[in-house]
Structure 1
C-alpha cells in the first residue's frame, strides 16, 4: 500500500519544483522600453546571465520553520540565449524570438540533501505586434503571445528540475506613454496557462508518476522609465502575481500564489551593444519560498 502523502510537505515540494523551473514559467518580466515598437528588419542576439536565491518558506502568509524548512536555500544560475527578428505585418510593427536557457539549480541549508539539476531549460517562443505606436508622442500599445516547450532537463525521480515537462502559453498586453518630461509610465498585464505534467513523482511525493496541473497565473507590472539621455535609462517595476493554484491527481492544493515583487533596471546603449543590469526580490509572498535575490546581466546586439 502506498504511504500517505504529507499535505504540507507536498505543497512545499510542488511549489519548489515550480519556482525552480525557467523563469518564464512564473512571469514575463518586461525590460525597460520593451513596449516601444521596434523598427523592422533587425536581427538581434541577446545573452543573459540570470541568478536567483529563494529562502524562507511561507504557507498562507506565515513563515514555516518546521523541518525541513529550518534553513532552506534554493539557488539557480543560468545563461539564456535569445535570437529575435523585427518586421512589419499588415503595416504593424512586430517581433518574434526564440530563446533557450542552460543552467544549474542546487539546494543548500536544510534542503542540501536534494540533488542538483544541470542542463538546458525549456525553449520559449514569442511574437509581439503593436496595434498602435506613435514615436512622436512616445505612446505604444503592444500585444504579445508566448509558448513554452518542454525541452528542458527533467527527471521525475528528482524534486528539483530545470525543465517543467509541460507546455505553457501566455498572452500579454502592454501600454507605455509619457508621464512628465523624459519619464514614461508603463503597465503590462499577462495571463499564463499551463499544460499538465503527467510525470510528477518525487516533487509530488509519489513513488510513481502522478498528474500535476496548475490554474492560470496573472501578472501585473507597472512602473516609471526615466530615459536620462540617448545612452542611459533607469526603470523601476512593481510586480503583482496572483493565481496559479495546483492540483495533484485532481486533489486541489490550497497554494494560490499571491506575490508582490520589485525589479530595478539600469540600461546603457553603446556602439558595442546594449547592456542591462537588473536587481529585484519579493516584497511579500503568501505561499512558497521567498525570492530574496534576483540578479540579471543582459547584453543585446543588433545586426
Structure 2
C-alpha cells in the first residue's frame, strides 16, 4: 500500500484557499461598505482542489495535513468594471490543520474530514483608505466525499463532496476585516479523475456554493446576501519520477454577486486563475507539496498577484 501511495501520490489533500473581497467601492469615491468577511479559506468563492484529490486512499487510511498560504494583491475591480490600483491591496497568511479518514460504507469508498483554519490579513487599503488588520480563527469546515465510481484498474474515479462552513470564526461587526463570515455556507462539488499508464492524468471538478445571510454586516445592523458561486477546475498532471509529480491547472469562477440590504455592493466572485503544483514523497508516508497561483480577468474583488501554498502531509 505504501508503495502505491509513493509512486502516484494520489491522496486527497485539497487546499482550501481564500478569496479576498467584500467591500463596495463607489465610482470616484473611497467610501466603503463592509459586505463580507475577508478571510476564511475560500471565503467568497468555491473550493479549490489539488491535481489528484479525487483518487481515494485505501479504507482505514488517515491523513494529517498542514497548509500555509500567503497571498498578495495590488488592485481591486468592481463588477461595474472600475479598477482601483492607487494605494490598493491586501496581504494574507492562512494556516489550515486538516484531518482525513477513509472508510467503506455500503460498498462505496468514502471519507470524513475536519478543517481548522486560522490566519491574518494586513496591509489592507482600498483607493487610499487604510483598513485595520484581522487575526484569529476562521470558520471551521466539515467535509465528506462519497466515491460513486472507484476503479483502480483503469485509474478512473468519480466522487461527490459537500463542504459545510460553520459560522464560528472571529467576527466583529465593528471591524473592517474579519476572519470569520458570520454566516453558514454549503459547497457541493463533484470531481472526476482519469489516470493513464504513462504517468499522465487529468482531473475535472465543478461545484456550486450557497450562502446564508449575515445579519450583522455593514453598519452592524444590515443584512448581507449573496448569489451562488460556481466554479470549473481542470488539472493535467504527470508523475515524472517514482516519488515526484507535477501539474498545471486552470480554474474559472463566476457568480457570487453580493447585496447589502438588497443593494449591490460591487463585489462578486468572478475571475480566472492559473496554478502550478509540485509534490514529492520524502518518505513512503510523508509528502511535501508546493503550489503557486495567479488570478486574471477578475471582477468584483481583489486580484491576487501571487498565491503560494506549502502543504505537509503525514499518512498513518
Does TM-score exceed 0.5, indicating one fold?
yes
| 1:187/1:265 CA distance change after superposition, 3 Å | same
Superposed counterparts of 1:181-192, under 5 Å: 181-192=198-209
Q: Does 2:115 match 1:79?
A: no
Q: Does 2:258 match 1:258?
A: no
The aligned residue for residue 107 of structure 2 is 91
Deviates more, 1:269-278 or 1:238-247: 269-278
Distance in 2 (CA, whole Å) between partners of 1:254 and 1:63 is 9
**Shift, 1:139, TM fit:** 0.8
**Shift, 1:287, TM fit:** 2.0
1:205-242 Cα distance to aligned partner (Å, 9 max, x none): x3x42000111100100120112233011111100000
Pairing partner for 2:53 from 19, 34, 37: 34
The aligned residue for residue 157 of structure 1 is 174
Deviates more, 1:230-239 or 1:112-121: 112-121
| 1:120/1:111 CA distance change after superposition, 3 Å | farther
Distance in 2 (CA, whole Å) between partners of 1:143 and 1:26 is 18
**Shift, 1:23, TM fit:** 2.1
Moved over 6 A (4+): 9-12
Contact kept, 8 Å, 2:78 with 2:300, in 1: the verdict is yes
Q: Does 2:304 match 1:287?
A: no
1:239-280 Cα distance to aligned partner (Å, 9 max, x none): 000000111112244544321001111111122511110000
1:111-169 Cα distance to aligned partner (Å, 9 max, x none): 67311111111101100011101111111111111100011111111121111011100
The aligned residue for residue 148 of structure 2 is 131
Superposed counterparts of 1:110-149, under 5 Å: 113-149=130-166
The aligned residue for residue 69 of structure 2 is 50
Distance in 2 (CA, whole Å) between partners of 1:32 and 1:217 is 21
> Under a length normalisation based on structure 1, what TM-score does the superposition of the two structures give?
0.88
Distance in 1 (CA, whole Å) between partners of 2:263 and 2:124 is 30
Pairing partner for 1:101 from 117, 120, 123: 117
Distance in 2 (CA, whole Å) between partners of 1:26 and 1:60 is 15
> Under a length normalisation based on structure 2, what TM-score does the superposition of the two structures give?
0.85
- Alpha carbon RMSD of aligned pairs, Å? 2.3
- Structure 2: gaps (5+ residues): 1-23
1:73-132 Cα distance to aligned partner (Å, 9 max, x none): 211102110111110011111111101111111124656731111111110110001110
Structure with the larger helix share: 1
Query: Secondary structure of the equivalent of 1:263?
Result: strand
